[in-house]
Amino acid sequence: MSTTYQRILVGVDDSPDALLAFQYAVQQAKKDAAELVIVSVLEDDQMNVYQALNKDYVHGERDALIQHLKTYQHQAQAAGVTDVQIMTATGEPGETIVKTVIPDVQPDILIIGSLAKHGITKHFGSQAAYMAKYAPISVLVIR
pLDDT higher than 50, residue 95: yes
Cα–Cα distance measured from residue 90 to residue 79, given in angstroms and rounded to the nearest whole number: 28
Average pLDDT in the chain? 85
Say what the pLDDT of residue 60 is.
56
pLDDT tops 90 at residue 117: no
Predicted pLDDT at 118: 52
Q: Say what the pTM is.
A: 0.85
pLDDT digits (tens, 9 = 90+) for 20-78: 999 999 999 999 999 999 999 987 655 444 444 444 444 457 888 899 999 999 999 99
Q: What is the pLDDT of residue 61?
A: 73
- Listing DSSP states for 103-131 in one string gives HHH--SEEEEESS-SSSTHHHHTHHHHHH
Band of the pLDDT at 1, cuts 50, 70, 90? low
- Determine the pLDDT at residue 89: 92
Question: How many angstroms separate the CA atoms of 33 and 67, rounded?
Answer: 25
16, pLDDT greater than 50: yes
